[in-house]
A and B are shown apart, each in its own frame.
Chain A
Amino acid sequence: MSAKQDRRDKIASRAVQVGFLVALMGFWYFATAYWGVNRLLLPNPLNVWQELKDVLGSGEYLPDLKVTLTEVAVAFAISCSTGVTLGYLISRSQFLIKVFEPLLAGFYSVPIILFLPLYVLFFGLGEGSKIALGTTISFFPIVLNTIAGFGYVDRIFITAARSMGASDVQMFRYVLLPAAFPVILTGLRIGFTVTLLSILGSETLASLAGLGHKIVHLAEAMETARMFAYIAFVVVIAAFLNSVVSSVERRANRR
């Protein structure tokens, strides 16, 4: 295929993407402005834009954003430290890997969202239950990837380093860690994504504060336009955080 045709293809597919978005927005606008769709079900995009400007301008989102981000940070910090530590300890022995890896993987296949009612019972409606859920959900990908990273380092590297007289510290610093690092990072990235999702989700289900709580609150008050504005806000924040984490992963892997 020639370069020219390739470029024409690219332009055409961009046109389809832009056309899709324009059609969607146009459809949304006409449906609400002229075709009489109930404003409570689907607000006018212009109203949503107004509300979004109002929300951003007034800084009304700040307390909820702070609550959500704190929960994400605490949950992620706990699951990172426990997940990586436990994963490392387990990966030190082939026997422990054989015992624990299937257990952890099996537990991972249970939809952990089911624990939310239990956590609400244990820790209450506040931040505790959200942090507990976020920690539980993100613990598994992190610990499993840590085991996979440290546990399956090529034997030949270890034997070579040993026979050249590497100490335990040197072994860890120059053999195990570089080999395991990319795999662990992937686990951390997945862990972060699911932490964010589960914190938002648990705030939506049962909570006292936070962005998920705000959206539910607006839905129950039938302030649909403002709810759409908050949804857009949360989606952008989530996309931003996820892309930051992905780029950190990419950069660390390039080294």
Chain B
Amino acid sequence: MNRPLHLQKVLYRHPGLARLAVVVALFLLWEISARWWIDPSFLSPPSRVVASFGELFETPGIPKALQITFWELAVAFAISVAAGLPIGLAVGLSRFSNRSLMPIILLLYGTPQVTILPLFILYFGIGPPSKIAFGVSHGIFPIIVTIVAGVQNIKPILMTAAHSMGASRWQIFRWVIFPHMIPTFFAGMRLGMTGVLLGVLLAELYVSSAGIGYFTQLFTQAFDPTKLLGLVSVLAAMAIVMNEIVRRAEVHFGRWRTD
């Protein structure tokens, strides 16, 4: 009688422990249901998925495909940031360009880009360039929009104060706008990374000659859930790591701001 009460108390004091218990329970449920209830050609237990990781990486083409996908993600993200930052600054810093161009940018941002995915394949082929281009088309808009919002959120009083103390345009940019930009910049990078991941993976799954999209299709058609789940978890892990790097950077560089 005393024991369960005690356990309850411990769990109550450490929500992290309870969280871990929930995750373990879910995996156990998955393991049990996959082992005894569900047709093995549809779902395989996590233990078997993990055990087959070695086999998965020995499948000819898989390491190469993962490498290609990783490069597509990295290049698409680099292009999105390199193009989105100057565009965002140019649009955000001038009242006129902001007023005239922002509606166009928001309009483009709001259109469902998946509908033009076939066009990207038509123009850029089925290789990596189409994936990169589609990733950029998803990643660049959140970056632009965040940067514009960030530039405009600088308190006018700070600008006026700098002005009245005789700061030059460059000094204002260096000492007022730039420090305020850093947290926004990283927030934009995080949103951009989410977009790039979505765009590249969508394009990969749509059509692919040697990338991961080819293998997901292969495993689906071969009713090989073990390898499919393995591949999906490797990709998910890759996505989580990339997201987490950008998120950590955001927290790190945004911590000076208290408001």
Contacts and interface: CB of A to CB of B under 8 A. Distances in A.
B12 interface: yes
A75 to B, nearest CB: 15
Interface stretch (B76-84, B107-115, B177-185): B107-115
Given A120-B220, A201-B202, A219-B121, A114 B236 contact: yes
Contacts of A10: 99
- Which applies to chain B's interface (DSSP): helix, strand, loop or mixed? helix
Interface string A69-110: 000000000000000000000000001001110110000011
A248 interface: no
Query: Interface majority SS on A: helix, strand, loop or mixed?
Result: helix
A117 B214 CA distance: 11
Given A99-B22, A109-B243, A204-B117, A17 B104 contact: yes
B223 A121 contact: yes
Contact of A205 (B103, B205, B243): B205
A99 B100 contact: no
Contacts of A220: 118
Contacts, number: 125
Contacts of B201: 111, 113-114
A133 B116 CA distance: 20
Interface of B: 12, 15, 18-19, 22-23, 42-43, 95-96, 99-101, 103-104, 110-112, 114-119, 121-123, 194, 197-198, 201-202, 205-206, 216-217, 219-220, 223, 225, 228-229, 232, 235-236, 239-240, 243
Interface residues of A, number: 50
A100 B22 contact: yes
A215 B19 contact: no
A16 interface: yes
A235 B112 contact: yes
A222 to B, nearest CB: 9
Contacts of A32: none
Contact of B111 (A13, A111, A238): A238
B233 to A, nearest CB: 9
B112 A234 contact: yes
A160 interface: no
B80 to A, nearest CB: 16
Contacts of B217: 117
A9 B96 contact: yes
